[in-house]
Amino acid sequence: MQGVTMEGGKEKPAYRDACGIIELNPEDLKELGIWHGTNVRVASQHGWVIVKAIKATQGPHPGLGWIPMGPWANRVIDPNTYSMGMPTFKGVPVTVEPAPDEKVLDSLAVLEEML
Amino acid sequence: MTKLITDVVCPFCGTLCDDLEVVVSDDGKELLEVNNACAIGAEKFLHSQAKDRLTRPRMRNEDGSWREVSYDEAAEFTAQMLAKSKKPLMYGWSSTNCESQVVGSHVAELVGGQLDNTATVCHGSTLIAVQDVGVPSCTLGEIKNRADMVVFWGCNPAHAHPRHMSRYSLFPRGFFTAKGHRGRTAVVVDPRPTDSANLADIYLPVEQGRDYELLSALRVAFRNEQLPDVVAGISKEKIYEVAEKMKNARFGCIFFGMGVTHSLSNNHNIDIAIQVTRDLNEFTKWSIMPMRGHYNVTGAGEVWGWQFGFPFCVDLSRGFARYNPGESSSNDLLMREEIDSVFVLGSDPGAHFPFSSVKKMNALPCVVVDPHITPSTVVADLHVPVAFVGVEVGGCAYRMDSVPIESHKVVDAPEGMLTDEEFLKLVLARVKEIKGV
């Protein structure tokens, strides 16, 4: 879905619905006290973003959160390249907390919000 | 009457499937149907037909709104911006053909540009590792015809390269692989039990970021040396079992993806994966291949390889080519604020760079050449929509195994739209005038 929506137009809501998410293990959802489809605030030491928490589609992977490639993930990843050109896109420690009243922004707005 | 165009090359991922069939209207203007493509490839073709598509360049006004400008004005703005800059970043070059990449590098040479392609956030680590230790590789055709064991390490072809497994790596029957899927052993190594893992005979749920340890353990197992009970979350029995299977394969290939290039220790993960392949060649025949994504990103590396000797992160600011990832790579240049303008063609750093880099881009003069509206256009001062390469214009592209393939045009671009190559030629001519060369 991620790839199809990227090619279908990144300004469209379908791209936000496919990539503005975090996949979490059912147990982790339970621990957060939320259901599949609740918006959450994901924060790392590099930034924060509001995404929708969903039950892992390719899981289980306890303790791991997975946000697809896109501007939502890029607001929380580690930009440090450790002298080799590649930002650290994976393995970034994050905290997840429920934010049911916040909105998941589309791909253009998620940038505009912080520029 | 409609026309059927056969043997069309798909411009989505690095697999470059070349068996697509496209139905177009009689006048060659409308694309009606795409057969044989995966869902993503088909969407790429069909989206070129979107009714809300931009067909003329647009320039940002003071208040942030857009106004339409001509291609000549767009080329003038771009040429002036690049010629005036001390160190312009010229990024992208992946969703376009090799012909455009060549013109782009001529422009970069004249303006002292920092040339970088999408490998910088993708398989850049791979390119560094290959330069460090070499690479035992082969073509996808050899995999199809010979491989009886395949390993997918940190990649998920079921989603990212949807036809890779059916055309080349897992399912097809080839010359020496008449049993197809039943004759192949597939191993998937990934912290997440992905949809590709569901198709595997053996799944190794490696702990996130522990690929180096597991690869190292395989090298120990090949030599029948002692292992601790558990390495990277995998039991030693499992590791010995997989190592034995790999040693006894007739022909194998390790395919690897973002799982290893994006985790910490990036290029070292690939260094040791290549060493694993090398070890295996003591016993039998093995290859290793990066699962390259972005259409012609391999081509960008090849073209710059001939022209400058380096596949990405090429610094031309001193009048000759320098290469030092970490210094001459897009994200580091942006972070250190060494760049004074940004030119983007054939990719979307707005969506795929860390947010802090995008913020820096926003503060600089920025031209984006892209048929789509993307997060990159949010930070652009000038957005130049062009014809879709691979759909509305043909040209040379390189497959993930570095095999060049000539792609075809299937429909006409909307009236009056330029291709990447034509636009770059306008810019090149103007830059030459400004520089007096």
- Chain A residues near residue B374 by CB distance under 8 angstroms: 10-11, 107
Min Cα–Cα distance to chain B from A101, Å: 24
Task: Give pLDDT, residue B28.
Answer: 83
Cα→Cα distances A48→A1, A42, A63, B18, B397, Å = 24, 6, 19, 42, 38
Q: Do A86 and B261 touch (CB under 8 A)?
A: yes
User: Which residues lie closer than 8 Å to B207 by C-beta, 6 or more apart?
Assistant: B191, B232, B233
Give per-10-residue mean pLDDT for chain B (437 aa). Answer: 93 94 91 94 91 93 95 97 97 96 97 96 95 94 97 96 96 95 96 95 96 98 97 97 97 96 92 97 97 94 95 96 96 96 96 96 96 94 96 95 93 94 98 95
User: Which residues lie closer than 8 Å to A30 by C-beta, 6 or more apart?
Assistant: none
Q: Are B266 and B272 in contact (CB under 8 A)?
A: no
* Best of A1, A16, A66, A86 to mutate (most B CBs within 10 Å, chain B): A86
Q: Are B73 and B57 in contact (CB under 8 A)?
A: yes
Q: Nearest Cβ partner of A71 from B261, B351, B362? A: B351
DSSP B321-334: -EE-TTTSSHHHHH
Task: Give pLDDT, residue B342.
Answer: 98
ipTM of the complex: 0.95
Task: Give pLDDT, residue A3.
Answer: 82
d(CA B417, CA B394): 15
- Contact of B141 with chain A, judged by CB distance below 8 Å, is answered with no
The token pair at A105 is 């922004």
- Nearest residue in A to B11, CA atom: A7
pLDDT at A1 over 80: no
Task: Give pLDDT, residue A115.
Answer: 85
Furthest C-alpha separation in chain B? 70
- Chain A residues near residue B193 by CB distance under 8 angstroms: 58-61
- Chain A residues near residue B352 by CB distance under 8 angstroms: 69-70, 74
Please compute the mean of the pLDDT values over residues A17-32 and round it to a whole number.
95
- Contact of B313 with chain A, judged by CB distance below 8 Å, is answered with yes
Q: Do A9 and B124 touch (CB under 8 A)?
A: no
Q: Are strands B341-345 and B366-369 parallel, antiparallel or unpaired?
A: parallel
Task: Give pLDDT, residue B43.
Answer: 93
d(CA B69, CA B74): 7
Query: Which pTM was predicted?
Result: 0.95
Task: Give pLDDT, residue B210.
Answer: 96
Task: Give pLDDT, residue A114.
Answer: 86
What is the per-residue pLDDT across A56-114, written as a single tens digit (0 to 9) for each? 999 899 999 999 999 999 999 999 999 999 999 999 999 999 999 999 999 999 999 98
